[in-house]
């Protein structure tokens, strides 16, 4: 006889029968489908998807329609860390080095000096305005000092920004997780907190170890994938994600910053022009979505809605200090040496969205048993939800008001897929000409591809043909380009240049 499933789940380990496992898989699949469908709601409303997923977790949790009681903060922390590794890997794979390189110094300063300013100002506000003890105030200040790239760019995807702004925001969100995690762990340690100079030394050492391991693992992984032909194209995405996870594990085991290691390793892999890259990118993007959905739903389950009432206004007050004082001040102080225009600084100040990382980090003091940690979690949860509701929908409007959009530049780029021809020592480059691309109207001969590269096939209106040098390319065409190994990168660079600048690209300096 199959025992009936329990009325609620308290986070304890219980044996599952086959029938119960099937029920659990069905529930998880339905939640995942609902969450995927909710992406359309978030894209239309301009709200980051995290709010939708958190709402699903709250709805099926305690005080909700599902009344599922879940209070295992330790399990949430472990799953959250695993999800963050996947999310950081996906973010690193999508980071373009040519865009982030000019913004790297500013992003590093913002991730270090900016975090210190944000922690100090926010903690002072939490202590003097809300009346929290200094340890609790410092915990809140540290937890909410980490920004979330997924939340920022989910609401800015329809408003292309200048390269410097996107570079700084993206690099900051990838870098500032590491020092924030170190601070939160230090403040969550039972007993006296280390002196500030000890914390600075620990942060510097762990960041250095994490950066070194991440760059080394990423370079070795990229070298191996370029020189070893795997038997199936589907193995490349798995190998790339495995390498990124290895970077995190190696960095953490060496007492360095595993989060920085995985982000840098993924960034190296993402800019290494690996075989079957679009498939790898799509695979990583899908894993990133699954990680976000699972993590946010679990966080929604962990929270107890009726306990948030007493901490609502303290959270609003702390968030006001963070958003209107701490964040603008950290941006101004950190970017002062770089002479960045005030309009870009204003957008960066308002674009400091908080997402998954602060809520996950708020579970660390709960696991450590720090007094008042439940209240810290509740304040952070309310703060993230309320100010994401305020900042998310207004970010595109602010970008347009400050005249920081770049029109259709993003729509002119090419999504070039590369497949290696190992025995022939060449590459197949395939892509579609976007509607706004300046490659429309260009003749094949006017592409001026380097010797060793040639357009071999064009698909137009579902019909394929071998083009002549005088064939005029049109928007919507699918092209197949064959290039030898030595000119593969030059051929891709030339195609992208023509897509942005037209037939005179290069001659006009584009």
Mind listing the pLDDT tens digit for each residue in 397-410?
Answer: 888 788 776 544 44
How does pLDDT run across 413-452, given as a tens digit for each residue?
A: 566 666 666 667 778 888 888 877 888 889 999 899 999 9
Closest residue by Cα to residue 100 from 266, 342, 274, 282? 266
Q: Residue 245 has what pLDDT?
A: 93
- Axis crossing angle, helix 373-401 with helix 49-60, rounded to the nearest 10: 150
Neighbours of 377 (CB within 10 A): 28
- b/e per residue 264-285 (b: at least 16 CB within 10 A): bbbbbbbbbebbbbeebbebbe
Q: What confidence category does residue 302 fall into, taking pLDDT thresholds of 50, 70 and 90? A: confident
C-alpha Rg value of the chain to the nearest Å? 25
| Sheet bearing 426-432, strands edge to edge | 417-421, 426-432, 478-484, 453-460, 463-465
pLDDT of 229 over the 80 cut: no
Non-local (6+) Cβ contacts of 444 within 8 A are 455, 467, 468, 469, 470, 471, 473
User: Would you give the DSSP letter of residue 421?
Assistant: E
Torsion sign over Cα 197, 198, 201, 202: negative
Q: Which CA distances in Å does 480 have to 191, 419, 483?
A: 64, 11, 10
Q: Residue 87 has what pLDDT?
A: 86
* Residue 97 Ramachandran class (φ > 0 left, ψ -120 to 50 alpha, else beta): alpha
CB 319 within 8 A of CB 121: no
Q: Residue 405 has what pLDDT?
A: 62
User: Would you give the DSSP letter of residue 346?
Assistant: H
**What residues form DSSP beta bridges with 472?**
443
Give the largest Cα separation in the chain, rounded.
79
CB 139 within 8 A of CB 187: yes
Give the least confident one: 120-129, 279-288, 467-476.
279-288
Residue 471: Cβ-neighbour burial (10 angstroms; 0-12, 13-18, 19+) = middle
Neighbours of 19 (CB within 10 A): 12
- What's the pTM value of the predicted model, to 2 decimals? 0.74
**Token pair listed for 340:** 């960045």
How does pLDDT run across 55-72, given as a tens digit for each residue?
A: 888 888 777 777 777 778
pLDDT of 10 over the 70 cut: no
Q: Residue 508 has what pLDDT?
A: 47
Closest residue by Cα to residue 408 from 431, 435, 440, 439? 435
Q: What confidence category does residue 330 fall into, taking pLDDT thresholds of 50, 70 and 90? A: very high
How does pLDDT run across 177-192, given as a tens digit for each residue?
A: 888 888 888 888 766 6
């Amino acid at each position: 006889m199959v025992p009936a499933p329990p009325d609620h789940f308290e986070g304890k380990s219980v044996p599952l029968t086959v029938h119960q496992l099937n029920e659990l898989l069905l529930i998880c699949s339905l939640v995942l489908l609902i969450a995927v469908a909710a992406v359309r709601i978030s894209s239309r409303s301009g709200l980051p998807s995290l709010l939708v997923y958190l709402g699903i977790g709250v709805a099926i949790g305690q005080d909700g329609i599902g009344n599922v009681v879940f209070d295992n903060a330790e399990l949430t922390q472990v799953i959250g860390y695993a999800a963050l590794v996947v999310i950081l890997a996906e973010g690193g794979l999508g980071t373009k080095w040519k865009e982030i390189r000019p913004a790297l110094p500013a992003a590093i300063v913002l991730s270090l000096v900016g975090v210190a300013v944000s922690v100090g100002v926010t903690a002072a506000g939490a202590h003097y305005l809300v009346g929290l003890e200094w340890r609790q105030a410092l915990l809140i200040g540290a937890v909410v000092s980490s920004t979330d790239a997924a939340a920022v760019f989910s609401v800015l995807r329809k408003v292309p920004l200048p390269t410097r702004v996107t570079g700084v925001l993206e690099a900051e969100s990838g870098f500032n997780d590491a020092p924030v995690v170190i601070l939160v762990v230090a403040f969550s340690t039972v007993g006296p907190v280390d002196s500030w100079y000890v914390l600075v030394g620990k942060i510097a050492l762990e960041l250095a170890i994490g950066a070194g391991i991440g760059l080394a693992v990423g370079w070795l992984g990229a070298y191996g994938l370029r020189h070893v032909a795997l038997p199936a194209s589907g193995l490349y995405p798995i190998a790339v994600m495995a390498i990124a996870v290895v970077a995190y594990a190696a960095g953490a085991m060496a007492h360095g910053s595993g989060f920085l290691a995985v982000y840098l390793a993924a960034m190296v892999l993402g800019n290494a022009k690996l075989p079957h890259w679009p498939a790898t990118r799509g695979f990583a993007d899908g894993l990133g979505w699954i990680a976000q959905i699972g993590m946010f739903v679990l966080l929604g389950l962990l929270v107890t809605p009726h306990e948030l009432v007493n901490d609502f206004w303290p959270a609003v007050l702390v968030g006001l200090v963070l958003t209107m004082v701490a964040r603008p001040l950290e941006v101004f102080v950190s970017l002062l040496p770089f002479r960045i225009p005030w309009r870009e600084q204003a957008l960066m100040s308002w674009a400091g969205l908080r997402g998954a990382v602060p809520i996950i980090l708020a579970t660390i003091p709960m696991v450590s048993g720090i007094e008042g940690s439940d209240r810290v979690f509740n304040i952070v949860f309310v703060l993230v939800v309320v100010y994401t509701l305020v900042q998310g929908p207004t970010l595109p409007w602010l970008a347009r008001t400050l005249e920081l959009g770049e029109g259709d530049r993003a729509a002119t780029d090419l999504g070039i897929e590369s497949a290696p021809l190992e025995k022939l020592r060449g590459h197949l480059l395939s892509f579609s000409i976007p509607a706004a691309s300046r490659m429309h109207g260009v003749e094949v001969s006017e592409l001026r591809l380097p010797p060793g590269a040639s357009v071999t096939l064009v698909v137009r209106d579902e019909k394929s043909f071998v083009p002549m040098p005088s064939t005029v390319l049109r928007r919507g065409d699918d092209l197949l380009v064959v290039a030898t190994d030595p000119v593969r990168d030059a051929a891709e660079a030339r195609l992208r240049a023509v897509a942005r600048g037209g037939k005179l690209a290069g001659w006009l300096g584009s």
